Chain A
Amino acid sequence: MKRKDDPRHKKRQELVGLLFSTSFRRNHNIRGTGTYREDFRKIISDIKQIDTMIAKAAPEFPVEKINKIDLAILRLAVYELLIEKANPEKVIIDEAIELGKEFAGDTSPSFINGVLGKILMLYGKRSTSKNN
Chain B
Amino acid sequence: MENEVRAKIIDLFIENFGVEKKDIASSMELLKDLNLSLLEIADFLVKVENTFHVQIPQSEGEKFLTLDDVINYVSDHGNFT
Q: Do A and B bind each other?
A: yes
Q: Is the CB of A26 within 8 A of B62?
A: yes
Give chain A residues whose Cβ lies under 8 Å from the Cβ of B61. 23-25
Interface residue A30 (Cβ < 8 Å from any Cβ of B): yes
Interface residue B12 (Cβ < 8 Å from any Cβ of A): no
Interface residue B58 (Cβ < 8 Å from any Cβ of A): yes
Contact with A along B37-81 (1 / 0, CB 8 A): 111011101100000000111111110100000000000000000
B61 to chain A, nearest CB (A): 3
Given known pairs A27-B62, A64-B55, the reply for A21 and B37 (CB within 8 Å) is yes
Give chain A residues whose Cβ lies under 8 Å from the Cβ of B43. 20
Total contacting residues, chain B, CB less than 8 A: 17
Complex-state Cα separation, A106 to B42, whole angstroms: 20
Complex-state Cα separation, A26 to B60, whole angstroms: 9
Complex-state Cα separation, A9 to B39, whole angstroms: 19
Complex-state Cα separation, A91 to B58, whole angstroms: 31
Given known pairs A64-B55, A64-B57, A68-B46, the reply for A25 and B39 (CB within 8 Å) is no
Give chain B residues whose Cβ lies under 8 Å from the Cβ of A22. 38, 42, 58
Give chain A residues whose Cβ lies under 8 Å from the Cβ of B62. 24-27
Q: Is the CB of A24 within 8 A of B55?
A: no
Q: Is the CB of B42 within 8 A of A23?
A: yes
Q: Is the CB of A21 within 8 A of B55?
A: no
Give chain B residues whose Cβ lies under 8 Å from the Cβ of A20. 39, 42-43
Q: Is the CB of B42 within 8 A of A26?
A: no
Give chain A residues whose Cβ lies under 8 Å from the Cβ of B42. 20-24, 68
Contact with B along A44-67 (1 / 0, CB 8 A): 000000000000000000001100
The B1-58 residues at the A interface (CB cut-off 8 A) are 37-39, 41-43, 45-46, 55-58
Closest to B61 in A: A24
Q: Is the CB of A23 within 8 A of B46?
A: yes
Q: Is the CB of A17 within 8 A of B39?
A: yes
